Chains A and B, each alone.
Chain A
Amino acid sequence: MGLLTDLKSSVSRAVSSLFSDEDPKRIGIYGPPNAGKTTLANRIARDWTEHGDAVGPESHVPHETRRARRKENVEIERDGKTVTIDVVDTPGVTTKVDYTEFLEHDMEKEDAVRRSREATEGVAEAMHWLREDVDGVIYVLDSTEDPFTQVNTMLIGIIESQDLPVLILANKIDREDSSVKRIRNAFPQHETIPLSALEGDNMDEVYDKIAEYFG
């Protein structure tokens, strides 16, 4: 009987380590459209995965990412330890989508309408992931833009209400009009890390913090 109990408990330990402790945490990359979320996801994938495949296409046209995309088992090495995470690149969150804005990017009406429909589905999907399926959040902001928007305030509030660990990244510091201070002032309750995902500036600190927050 003792043997059976021992066996049961070791099986239960093995199962629990398989499905809990060892499961990589799903880290959602969130933020408004055009903040550089996919550029960051691609840089992380390039830096830490064997083949370095891109997570998704990058573009200056808003709502290029219209489906949440997951890159599994990204192993980030810091101080001799390995932190394994799944990176989930999500569509930029907004409360409005107007297809006529895409017409300004030399798009035909039919393509613009399709893009706007896909964008709305993508935002709904991103919100669902946030409520149900992520273990932590990297919140990416364009440091050349005013961070004090309603969408940012609401999303940070939603993330805080779920007690998810959140790391705020002030992206695009390679631009002249970048202001990291403005972002720090907007969200003083969280740590803000400056970076340029495009140029790869300050990525070492970003990876240190990812390991610290989500490891």
Chain B
Amino acid sequence: MADLKQPNGVQIDLISAARMDGLASMEKIRLILDGVRDGNIVILEEGLSPDEESKLIEVTMTEISPDEFNGIEIETYPRSETADASFLDRLMGRESTNKLTVIGPANQIETLHKDETIIQTLVSRK
């Protein structure tokens, strides 16, 4: 992705569901982590599947390095009970994961408030 960062600014990558749709799980994780490791805030129109979230945590852990990369902060809207996919839905591959997701470097992003309708974060420069 082209680096559009301005001096003293924070780059935000808003990634559409269409862009993510064509990617394999590891490609999605790479796209996210490459952005975050560059100090960008990555916003996904649709979130990751539980399996991809699990892999994201695993890969993030392997990349943490003292004084360089402390890991990620990730926030999605909490799943409301009514929005939960039923067992039948999951069986039929109709699991809904379309939750807007914000991911950033752990040392630059802090969640101020989160509920089912709003995520408020404080983003600082490097």
Interface residues of B in 45-76 (CB under 8 A from A): 49-51, 53-55, 57-58, 60-62, 64, 66, 70-76
Q: How large is the interface on A (under 10, 10 to 19, 20 to 34, 35 or more residues)?
A: 20 to 34
- Check if B21 is an interface residue, CB within 8 A of chain A: no
* Beta-carbon contact of B66 and A99 below 8 Å: yes
Q: Which residues of B are at the interface with A, using a C-beta cutoff of 8 A?
A: 49-51, 53-55, 57-58, 60-62, 64, 66, 70-76, 78-79, 81, 84, 87, 90, 95, 106-107, 111, 114
Query: In whole angstroms, what is the CA distance A127 to B58 when docked?
Result: 6
Q: Which residue of A lies closest to B103 (CB)?
A: A95
Residues of A at the B interface (CB closer than 8 Å) are 93-99, 113, 116-117, 120-121, 123-124, 127-128, 130-131, 148, 150, 153-154, 157-158, 160-163, 188-189
Smallest distance from the beta carbon of B120 to chain A beta carbons, Å? 14
A-B contact pairs, 18 of them (CB 8 A): A95-B60, A96-B72, A97-B61, A97-B64, A97-B70, A98-B70, A98-B106, A117-B66, A124-B57, A127-B57, A128-B58, A150-B73, A150-B111, A153-B78, A153-B79, A154-B50, A157-B53, A162-B50
Contact residues in B for A130 (Cβ distance below 8 Å): 54
* A123, A130, A162, A188: most-surrounded residue (chain B CB, <10 A): A123
Find the residue from A97, A116, A154 having the highest chain B CB count within 10 A. A154
A111: shortest Cβ distance to chain B, in Å? 12
Please name all residues of chain B whose beta carbon is closer than 8 Å to the beta carbon of A97 when the two chains form the complex.
Answer: 61, 64, 70-71
Whether B53 and A158, one on each chain, are in contact in the complex, defined by CB atoms closer than 8 angstroms, is yes
